[in-house]
Structure 1
Amino acid sequence: MNNYDEISQLVARERLYRARHAEELADCYYPDATVATSWQNGSLDTFLNQSPAEVDPRFTIVGSVSAPVIHQNGDRAYVELPTVTNMRMMVQDVQTEIESYRRLIYRVEKRDQDWKIASMISINESDSLHAVIPGEKLVIDPKELAKFRPSYQFLSYVRTAAGGEVSQDLLGTDRPADIKKLYAQAQAWVDHKA
């Protein structure tokens, strides 16, 4: 395989293993990797061994990804991976499903012979929430959503309702200056300038 194929397979495996809670997930990352998502920001260990508050063990998390866009320079690359995640949960005694659209930005590096992930950060793009069973109604007061950012308002709502917390300073498409800065930092890293 060439580098692009190896990198594409790496990020695809990472997403597949994450959805399955597979032990192989850790092998996609370097031990010193960092991961920033909507529910945690920190070391690889935190990402591997915790789950967000709203995850209900009765339901499987389903995810799908689009083709990655790879920006490579020698032994470094950053990868943009559009992804959609569907999670079912109980909200107000109604079985619901949240659909979250995100763009994952991976920094991948070839140390020795293997490409692995050095960091991953999630950009929130949009989300929606609906009742799963036709005929059931989920009613949410729009005033309850007003305090949440539009790029991840329903994720914020369900996490708060489940007793968790979600920062309103996460990366999201509703703050384009933050996204532009992230891309500049990723490119500087790829170019060995950071």
Structure 2
Amino acid sequence: MLEFIFDSTRAVSDLLLAGVLARHPDVWWGRECRHIADSGARSTHRLGPPVPRLDSERALIEAPACIKVRAEVGGVTADVTSYTRLLYRAERRHDRWWLVSLEPIYERGTIVPVSPDAVPQLDPVRLARFRPSYRALAYHLDGLGYPIDDDLFGDDRSAGVESLYTRSFAWLHG
């Protein structure tokens, strides 16, 4: 039993750290990521160590992450960073682990000028339209013309995050 748990834990961790390449064909974010990449938007996603929780043929994997974009924001070159937790669901099908869903949980964000003497000129009214948990990233993406959903999971709305975890653990043990 211990060998099974070790092998499965390593398999789902490797799945995530290998670049999330083993997405099941039904998983939605493959199409979304392709659409954003085709538009010319570029970002770097840095993942921390994943924490997998296993129950038979299912796994719930949580990983801290930073989404980083270097872009013109408020008239200056700046690094836009969004700190998130990524919550993946994975299933073993025919002896192979597949990622079947991804839910980001936004924590906070920053906009930091690349040059220390630069000050971005941000529109305070536009900035205030976005929730604190993903305000910096939303401000940047809104400036590129992307629609911004107000109902994403974020630490500024703890009831929604708690509900997500409750549903995710119910799925894991279901």
Provide TM-score, normalisation by structure 1.
Answer: 0.79
User: C-alpha separation between the residues in 2 aligned to 1:171 and 1:178?
Assistant: 6
User: C-alpha separation between the residues in 1 aligned to 2:142 and 2:41?
Assistant: 14
| Cα deviation, residue 92, structure 1 | 3.5
| Cα deviation, residue 112, structure 1 | 0.5
| Cα deviation, residue 67, structure 1 | 1.5
Alignment of 1:70-109 (within 5 A): 70-109=52-91
Aligned length: 169
1:114-147 per-residue CA deviation (whole Å, 9 max, x = no partner) reads 1110111111111000211232221224333211
| Cα deviation, residue 56, structure 1 | 4.2
8 Å contact 1:56–1:88 — kept in the other structure?
A: no
> Which of 26, 32, 36 does residue 32 from structure 1 map onto?
26
1:51 matched to 2:36? yes
| Cα deviation, residue 2, structure 1 | 0.6
8 Å contact 1:54–1:89 — kept in the other structure?
A: no
1:63 matched to 2:45? yes
| Cα deviation, residue 49, structure 1 | 1.8
How well do the aligned residues superpose, as a CA RMSD in angstroms?
Answer: 2.0
User: C-alpha separation between the residues in 2 aligned to 1:124 and 1:102?
Assistant: 4
Q: Which structure 1 segments of 5+ residues have no match?
A: 16-24, 36-43
> Which of 136, 149, 154 does residue 172 from structure 1 map onto?
154
% identity of equivalent residues: 30
User: C-alpha separation between the residues in 2 aligned to 1:126 and 1:48?
Assistant: 21
User: C-alpha separation between the residues in 1 aligned to 2:159 and 2:46?
Assistant: 27
8 Å contact 1:53–1:164 — kept in the other structure?
A: no
> Which of 163, 176, 183 does residue 145 from structure 2 map onto?
163
| Cα deviation, residue 6, structure 1 | 0.8
- Name segments (4+ residues, structure 1) moved above 4 Å: 52-57
Provide TM-score, normalisation by structure 2.
Answer: 0.88
Closer/same/farther in 2, CA of residues 95 and 55 from structure 1, 3 Å limit: farther
- Which SS does the other structure have where 1:187 is aligned? helix
